[in-house]
Chain A
Amino acid sequence: MALIAILSAILLVQQIALSFLPNVQTTVLLIVLYTKVLGFKKTTLIIMIHVILYNTLSPFGAVIPLHFISMFVGYMIIPISLQTIFKKLKSPLQLASAGLLFGFLYGWAFIPVSVFVLGIPFMTYFLMDLPFEMVMAVSNFLSIYWLYEPLSKLLIVQTAHYYLETK
């Protein structure tokens, strides 16, 4: 549990710290990393903690409570796809390319609530959100491409130490 708490805190702090730059973050990089190193269940728990804390503590959180669900779904696409259709992706370039796609899928996860609850016209929302999705996509691509490999080695070593210490 301590490991999940620490990794959730890292995820939360980096996103709040980078909030002044819309959609520029390393959240997707960390979720990819957690999924690959810790597995699906632990990553799901970390995402749940992150979504609740970010939306309740950050001034940049959800506009309406239903966006909690959109954010959760948007982030859960990552561990679900990395455990299924993208299971064979291993290299930083392959994972970064998936990160590019996650940038758009994350943005699209907000469409149902925005269109059906807030009443924003679909095409207008879709077109206005595209630049933000592109920024998130390239931010995901670059962060995963450059940082996945070193962080992956670091996290594997640190989790091994953690499990040895706690046994």
Chain B
Amino acid sequence: MKKLAVKFIVSIIALASVFTAIQLLKTDHQALTSGEIELILVDESGTVIYEEWITFEEGMTFYDVLQAHFELTCANASYQADDTCSYTFSSFGSSDKVILGIKGTTFELVTDWQHSYLSIYKWDGSEFRLTAQGVMQLVFEDQDRIKIAVEEVW
């Protein structure tokens, strides 16, 4: 009986430790101040179709910034296009949206996830580096330069 109790306690400690560690790894992806970022959009042929400085407010995520300036198309749970962007992908310690398309007044970027997708790059002072973070997880601040490019799957 005592052995079983010890097993339960050790198991609960292990679960609690991992849960706490995952919570601690969560970072604040919302803008800490208001400001502006340079946004560069590149189509499938590598042509820059949009290059402007856009403003954002304190507390916005990068997704909020894009939504405030453009019409977005996101992926739903089965990676189909959804203009309402109502679905949010959730996983351990984070949640995010997958953007398939961005539409402005003079341009439109469209991907379908099966053949093409949008990659996000951030200027590190010398070159644009792939972020490998989604639009709700991307950490950004005033005067950052961010590039979104259409990439082919293969």
Chain A residues in contact with chain B, CB under 8 A?
22, 93, 100, 119-121, 124-125, 127-128, 130-132, 134-135, 137-138, 141-142, 145-146
Contact = CB atoms under 8 A, between A and B. Distances in A.
B5 interface: no
Size class of B's contact patch? 10 to 19
Contact of A128 (B17, B18, B132): B132
Given A138-B14, A141-B14, A131 B130 contact: no
A134 B21 contact: yes
Contact of B132 (A124, A137, A146): A124
Nearest to B129: A121
B25 interface: yes
21 contacts: A22-B91, A120-B130, A120-B132, A121-B129, A121-B130, A124-B132, A125-B132, A130-B25, A131-B25, A131-B92, A132-B91, A132-B92, A134-B21, A134-B22, A135-B18, A137-B18, A138-B17, A141-B14, A145-B7, A145-B10, A146-B11
Interface string B117-140: 000000000000111110000000
Contacts of A93: 10
B27 to A, nearest CB: 9
A138 B132 contact: no
Contacts of B132: 120-121, 124-125, 128
A124 B133 contact: yes
A125 B14 CA distance: 24
Contacts, number: 48
Given A138-B15, A145-B11, 18 more contacts: A93-B10, A100-B14, A121-B129, A121-B130, A121-B131, A121-B132, A124-B133, A127-B25, A130-B25, A132-B91, A132-B92, A134-B18, A134-B21, A138-B14, A138-B18, A142-B11, A146-B7, A146-B11
Interface in B65-97: 91-94
B92 A22 contact: yes
The 9 closest A-B CB pairs, nearest first, are: A131-B92, A131-B93, A138-B18, A124-B132, A120-B132, A134-B18, A131-B22, A141-B14, A138-B14
Interface string B10-54: 110011011001100100000000000000000000000000000
Contacts of A100: 14
Given A124-B131, A125-B132, A131 B94 contact: yes
B47 to A, nearest CB: 22
Nearest to B131: A124
Contacts of A128: 132-133
A127 B22 CA distance: 11
A131 B129 CA distance: 23
A158 B141 CA distance: 61
B95 to A, nearest CB: 12
